[in-house]
Structure 1
Amino acid sequence: MGDIFSRIEHSRTADEVVGQIEGLILEGVLRVGDRLPGERELARQFEVSRPILRDALKTLETRGLLATRHGGGTYVADVIGEVFSRPVMDLFSTHPKAASDYLEYRREMEGMAADYAARRATPDDIALLDAIMARMDEAHRSGDFEDEAEVDVEFHHAVGECAHNIILLHTLRSCYRLLSDGVFRHRLLVFSLPGARDALLAQHRVIHAAVKAGDPAAARKAAMDHITYVERSMAEAERTGDWQRVSRLRLRQRAGEHELQRKRS
């Protein structure tokens, strides 16, 4: 982690340190699971005494924003883990309508995020998007579905960050958490369809290009079209999977009937 913490300018109290770390979490600079530098290094970056720093870290831990792990180290706590409780996530995973509603919701939210990103992305934001797009190209060339799906989510995370709206950012993060936790498995289903990997890559390139060009309308449309494609593909993948299941059962049944007739004769 680079030097993202800055010198405390005024009273140099624990409250000042707390406020700066809270802001970094709120703005999405610090993510769930990120490890903070060691105490000595943090005190150096903030230019505060170690007792002040310890007070600040303790306050943040009490508020549930930081956590200390076994074996040492202070990390950003699971601040989005409670947006959807485990019982609700279990309901999502067992009710088909939840998956379609999820994509309907994402289409609107991601359209808005891409629109804002095209208006607000800084040169540093674009550099981050460029790097993720390059990783997506590489994952596509390697043909690793899991890796490609992981970079896919990272790309959408980054667009949400480029939108510079903290409520939108954390709402989207909670949505993507449902993917990483395996509640909705459609992304891997979609990758299995013929031609889908190429189509998805092309769609991400269009979103990337529109954000980079600063074209809000094109970015919104590209993001929404992408989710519409995922919806259609998910339905097709599920249908195809069901056809394969029925065909397999039919083949097994016919083979059993043939074997029975053979034995009788």
Structure 2
Amino acid sequence: MAVPTSKSTFKEYCLRALGKGVIDINVSDDQIDDRVDEALQYFSKYHYDGIERVYLKHQLTTAEIARMRSNESAVTATDKVDSSITADFLQQENYIPIPDSVLAVVKVYPVTDKLTQNLFDVRYQLRLNDLYDFSSTSIIHYEMTMRHLDFLDHILTGEYPIDFKEHQNRLYIHADMEKDFNNGDFLLIECYRKLDPTVYTDVFDDMYLKRYATALIKKQWGANLSKFNGVQMLGGVTMNGETIYQQALDEITRLEEEMKLGFELPVNYMVG
């Protein structure tokens, strides 16, 4: 069996699964491209093998920090009863562009280094006085104290609230950019990114993706033939595209149900 390793070989695999070489598959090349792209999009959206968790770092610049402190153009709202009453709204440009391949952002990690504190910091004093010798000191006390300090930091300082929408490709960071960040600071962004099949070509050999793309192409084939339903061909053969279309719909429904039950990550995996 020829293993598909590119989009072109993947399309040929799907067509052979439908009978190419024995019968004609009445689907244009553009339609096949559309259905394969649709299958890849669905695969990366719902299949745990179609994404990867990565940590992207972004270095802030002075110009970027200044831009994130500015406001976008004003939007004016007018009262629906009294048109003389209006209100202007401004939205801060506190966002950074995110690559198109990113599907979800989980968290933006703090950029401060808590290990480098001054001499009067409680963490420094704890290490200096209680952890000079690990052989004679229990590390349990140190672990519990550090957890407590981290909890206090989380309650009193908190984390930066973030907003991300896939179709905006913008990561909004709700913070005082001028006060909390300096030129050259890094943002460490935990996110989920879809796999690029042109780089990770093994994606095209995924069993589920091959079956799903084949079903989508079969549906397109049935939709094309249904326009000539009942037309009698040479030799008395009658086209019946509706049957092919309905079979494909049943296969797609079954495969999508299989995706939800066996391959989809928990619903809240994108919540950060």
TM-score (norm 1): 0.22
Q: Select the structure of larger CA radius of gyration.
A: 2
Higher helix content, 1 or 2: 1
